[in-house]
Amino acid sequence: MATHAFFKISIDGKAQAPVYFELFDKSVPKTTKNFASLCQGFEKDGRLLTYKGSRFHRVIKGFMIQGGDFTKGNGTGGESIYGEKFEDENFEHKHDAPFLLSMANAGPNTNGSQFFITTVPTPHLNDKHVVFGKVVSGKSTVRAIENLKTQSNDDPEVPVVIEDCGVCTAADIPPPQPDATGDKFEDFPDDFEGELVPRKAYEIGSELKAIGNKQFAAKNNEVAVTKWRKALRYLGVHPFHDEDAEKDLEFWKQYDVLRNSVHLNIALVALREKRYQEVLKETSVVLDNKESLTQAEKEKANYRRGVALAALKNFEEAEATLAQAGSDPAVKKELAAVRQKKKEYIARQRKAFSKMFA
């Protein structure tokens, strides 16, 4: 039976879902013993060697996340249970998938305590680094780390700390649980178990939109936008209608309506929070989708875009945009206000120019 290990990780002080690993102890027993021992804590010469309290010091999106330097914390330290370094055990396992656990090194036979977790297949590392395990739960935490902003040396801008670690059995690993909002899906579609056919992507996108709407109603705007953006990632698996679209035009119409509605929801929150450039970005996506855009969506996008343009003092474009936002009383009121502001702005400009040439 394979050995399993776990990390309890915090990002900027906030606890994340635990990451559980299956270790390949049959094929690379020496390497896995080193990792498992450091997860448990290993006494050596009166010192405790452990991953607990250490951090992930190197993050490269679309490649890997690296940690395990518990002596210096910057990628120049670390130590194995066998000594400072130990030899490459074998290269039986290949870097052919994301979420593989592999030894970091400084060249042949220089393994210590540092490790990395792949976030994509990395075949160029084959026969250079020893793969000794894989992530079996907690992939969303790995993705959260991967997507952090980093400094010029690839060090995350916020601390990513292994708060606790140890070994366990497969039976100790809890089944995936929905988060506090009821969201049971992986954060990124690439990690979804199964085939994301268009109807499945639509189903997940719909559920995530509903979760976001519920959070929005509860005034949890940040959570709402997070869920809506996640919905867009799943819907984005099929950015274009497939080759059989002609057979099911009604479905693809609803697919586009769902996607547009999520963009408009994000634009609404951005507008209320005065993030006007974000409003322009989200409404541009909707308005560029001319083929499947409904009149209601067009008017809603133009209204939110027009209000944002007015707030940015682009009164000319704001007026033209709001003129395409329908005849709702709120639209008429906003359009009148923009025209008045435009008039006052022009008057101030003329007055300023007249003083220049007086």
Per residue in 175-224, pLDDT (tens digit) is 888 999 999 999 999 898 889 999 999 999 999 999 999 999 999 999 99
Q: Alpha helix (H) ranges present in the chain? A: 29-40, 139-146, 198-217, 221-235, 249-272, 276-288, 295-311, 315-322, 329-356
What pLDDT shows up at residue 258?
97
- Cα-based distances in Å from 324 to 227, 287, 293, 301: 30, 11, 14, 10
Q: What domains are defined for the chain?
A: 4-172 (2.40.100.10), 189-349 (1.25.40.10)
Helix, strand, coil % over all residues of the chain, rounded to 5? 45, 15, 40
Assess whether pLDDT exceeds 90 at residue 12: yes
Supply the angle between the helices 329-356 and 295-311 in degrees, to the nearest 10.
30
List, by residue number, the catalytic residues.
58, 63, 66, 105, 116, 125, 129
Mean pLDDT check: name the lowest of 141-145, 259-263, 349-353.
349-353
What pLDDT shows up at residue 358?
58
Q: What are phi and psi of 216, to 5 degrees?
A: -65, -45
pTM: 0.79
* Buried/exposed code over 174-203 (b: 16+ C-beta within 10 A; e: otherwise): eeeeeeebebebbbbbebbeeebebeebbe
